[in-house]
Amino acid sequence: MNAYRLAAFDMDGTLLDSNKEILPSSLKAFERALASGKILALDTGRAVSELSLYHFADMGIRYGSCACGTVIYDFREEKVLLRRTIPSDLIPLIADISRKEDLMFQVMVEGISYVERKDAERMDRYQMGVYQPLYLATTSYAEDVRAFALENRDRINKINLYHTDPRSRERTRQRLSHLPLDLTFAETTSLECTPRGVSKGSGLLDLCRVLDIPVSAAIGVGDAFNDVPMLEAAGLGIAMGNSNEAALGAADAVVAGNDHDGIAQVIDLYLLS
């Protein structure tokens, strides 16, 4: 009997194609997996609010590890099942350090994304233009997002810092490196800040605990730096064909890219085979 009971997918570069859509072949494969009693889930860096356009519960994806493992969410019940937060005393330090570079400050509180409107309207500046329609449609606005973060310092799951270039990101990483945080690169200029020890890998472990499934029975699928902990934690880590070297090096197997039916291959060759 097949040992794998759950497959957890990263979103961008994995479940989503280059147009930020889910391929028809993936949707058909979901149906085959669900008919066989398998569980489909997300393991994503996105906030819960940034997933609302996709109606995952209707696709049969009920659960998600969101915001890099800081929020375990039930899409059907629209309910947070488990949350982890950045220590409140670190928020003023992160806010102060972030002012040293030209960057877009994003904070996630209880699964909801908050940014300043002026930043959402100029995301090309931070090499995040492809995400601008998503942010304009799903994010919430704070007049001063750093002040908002300070006011909500006890409830912050994750902070994203989007820079103008990778060199600027590296300077911020070095300034934050002495703090008890997990600091992870994503996209071209993003630095993701989560509580120390919290990542997509710990999120997969938390999700499996909530569902009472051994992590050895879980498949993790991703393509980027922030997916490496998930690929390493899963019973089987699978990298997409379009993955970067870090993800390829951490994976047990490789499938086709996100534009070429890779997700269907994951389901048919590994989850169901």
What is the pLDDT averaged over residues 39-63?
A: 96
pLDDT in the model for residue 273? 86
pLDDT in tens, 221-256: 999 999 999 999 999 999 999 999 999 999 999 999
Q: What percent of the chain has pLDDT over 90?
A: 98
Token look-up 């006890």 returns 154
Q: Do domains 6-83+199-271 and 88-195 have the same CATH topology?
A: no
pLDDT in tens, 198-225: 999 999 999 999 999 999 999 999 999 9
Class of domain 88-195: alpha beta
What's the chain's average pLDDT? 97
CA distance 87 to 136: 29
Nearest to 191 by CA among 45, 19, 8: 45
Do 43 and 200 form a contact (C-beta atoms < 8 A)? Answer: yes
Q: Where are the domains of the chain?
A: 6-83+199-271, 88-195
What's phi and psi for 111, nearest 5 deg? 85, 5
Domain 6-83+199-271 has CATH 3.40.50.1000: yes
Q: What angle do CA 181, 88, 169 make, to 5 degrees?
A: 40
CA 217 to chain centre: 21
Do 161 and 86 form a contact (C-beta atoms < 8 A)? Answer: no
Q: Which distant-in-sequence residues (6+ apart) come within 8 Å of 142 by Cβ?
A: 107, 114, 115, 116, 148
Can you give the pTM of this predicted structure?
Answer: 0.94
Token look-up 């499996």 returns 208
pLDDT in tens, 124-153: 999 999 999 999 999 999 999 999 999 999
